[in-house]
Structure 1
C-alpha cells in the first residue's frame, strides 16, 4: 500500500486561533458592548460565522468575494443584528480599523507548532488551504516562528472558488495524489474536514475550536482529537 505523507491544514480557526481578534474587540468596544448586554467574544464569534456564510454564499452564487473584503464590510450589519439600532453612532471606522489590526495579528494556537513538527519529523509535508488572504495568513506563521514555504500555502482567492465547494479542494488533492495514496485534510471546522473527505481526502478533525464533534451530522472521520498534537499523533499512527 502506498502511504501518502501529505497533510493539508485549514489555517484560520484551526492552526491559528481567534484570541488576538477577540482581544481587539474587547479593547476597542468591550465596555460599549457589555452595556448593551453583548459579550465581546460572542460578538466576534457571530461576526466570523456570518462572514464565513456570506463568503460561501457569494462563491456558490458565482460572485466570489475575497474574505478580506467580505469580513470588514459586515461590521456595522453585525452590530445592527445584535440589537444596536444606530451602529454608526455606536462605533466608527477607527474602531473597525483597530479591530481589523487585531484580526491581522492573529497567532498560532498552543500546540500548533508541536503539531506541525511532529508531522514533519514523521516525514509528512505540511500544506495550508485557506479562505483568507494568502499573505495575511503567511504572516500568522512567521510571527509564530513556524516555517511555512509560500509554495505550500494556498488560498481560495487564487481560484475564486470558496470552501466547502468540492472544486476548492480538488486542485491540491489531484496534485498530492499523483504518486499514489490519499493525502489528509485537517481542520477544526467539522464542515471543512467532512467536505474535504467527501472530495477524496482522509479526514482529521480537532475539537479545539468547536468543542464537540457531531458525527450524526457531519459523518465519521478517520481521526478525531481534542488537541492539535494529538491529531498529529493519530494521523502518524494511522499512516504507519
Structure 2
C-alpha cells in the first residue's frame, strides 16, 4: 500500500530551473541579440510561455502533440516576434538543435534536493507529474544525483491530455487517493498548475520562486504558500500534522 502522505510535484519551472536555457541563448546569440536589443532571458521566457500555450491549445482541441515537438518548432516564430525579419537566415537548424539539446540539460533549482529529502524524511512519497517526456525529466534528477524512481514519474504524454485540463490531473488524484486512502498534495511554482489541481481535489502548495506574486485574487487561495522550495516542504509537513 502507498504511503498515506503523497506529494505530486510539477517538474520544469518548479523543481527544475529554466536558467540553463537562458544561458544557452546568451552563449549562442549574445552579441547578435545585443545589437538588436533582444534580451536572451526575455526571449527564452516568451519561447517557453508560447510553447506552453500552443501545446495546451492543441490538447484542448483534441490534437495532442508532445511538448518537445511544439517547443522546438516555435523557435523561428519567436525570433520573428522579437523583430528579426528573416529568422531562418539569423539562426540555422543546427542552432535550434543545439538549443533544444541544452534545454535537456536544465538543472534542479537551489533547494530542490533539500525539499524532496525533507518530505521523504517526514514520511511522504514524492511523485512528479510533467508535460515533458519521461526520459528527459528523469535525466534532470539523475544528473543532479537525486533519486527519483521511474515509477514515480508521470507524464501528460501517457494519456495525451495536457495540464491544466482538469482531466489531466484526475487520474493521478484517483490513483493516489484510492491506494493511500488520503488526499494527496500537488506542489508547483506555476499558480495556474497548482490552482487547477486543487479544483479536482488535491491540496495545494505553491512556491513563489518562479512567479514571485501568487495573485490570489485571480487564482484563489492555497493551503501552503512559501518563498522557497524547502519552505514549501516545511509548510506541507506542518499542515499534514
TM over 0.5: yes
Tell me if the contact between 1:29 and 1:95 (Cα under 8 Å) persists in the aligned partners.
Answer: no
Distance 1:5 1:137 in 2: 23
Pairing of 1:82-93 with structure 2 (within 5 A):
82-93=82-93
Distance 1:32 1:91 in 2: 11
1:30 aligns with 2:30: yes
Tell me if the contact between 1:138 and 1:153 (Cα under 8 Å) persists in the aligned partners.
Answer: yes
Distance 1:173 1:90 in 2: 45
Distance 2:4 2:184 in 1: 5
Q: Which residue of 2 aligns with 1:138?
A: 138
Secondary structure of 1:177's counterpart equals helix
1:221 aligns with 2:208: no
Pairing of 1:69-84 with structure 2 (within 5 A):
69-84=69-84
1:237 aligns with 2:209: no
Distance 2:218 2:32 in 1: 37
Gaps of 5+ in 1: none
Tell me if the contact between 1:107 and 1:140 (Cα under 8 Å) persists in the aligned partners.
Answer: yes
Q: Which residue of 2 aligns with 1:186?
A: 187
Residue 180 (structure 1) shift: 2.0
Distance 1:139 1:23 in 2: 19
How many residue pairs align between the two structures? 238
Secondary structure of 2:164's counterpart equals coil
Secondary structure of 2:147's counterpart equals coil
Residue 37 (structure 1) shift: 0.8
> C-alpha offsets along residues 125-146 of structure 1, whole Å, 9 cap, x if unaligned?
0000000111100000000111
What RMSD in Å do the two structures reach over aligned CA positions? 0.9
Secondary structure of 2:221's counterpart equals coil
TM-score scaled by length of structure 1: 0.98
1:159 aligns with 2:156: no
Distance 1:217 1:74 in 2: 29
Secondary structure of 1:139's counterpart equals helix
Tell me if the contact between 1:191 and 1:218 (Cα under 8 Å) persists in the aligned partners.
Answer: yes
> C-alpha offsets along residues 204-231 of structure 1, whole Å, 9 cap, x if unaligned?
1101011111000000000011000000
Residue 95 (structure 1) shift: 1.1
1:9 aligns with 2:9: yes
Q: Which residue of 2 aligns with 1:202?
A: 203
Q: Would you identify which runs of 4 or more consecutive aligned residues in structure 1 move more than 3 Å?
A: none
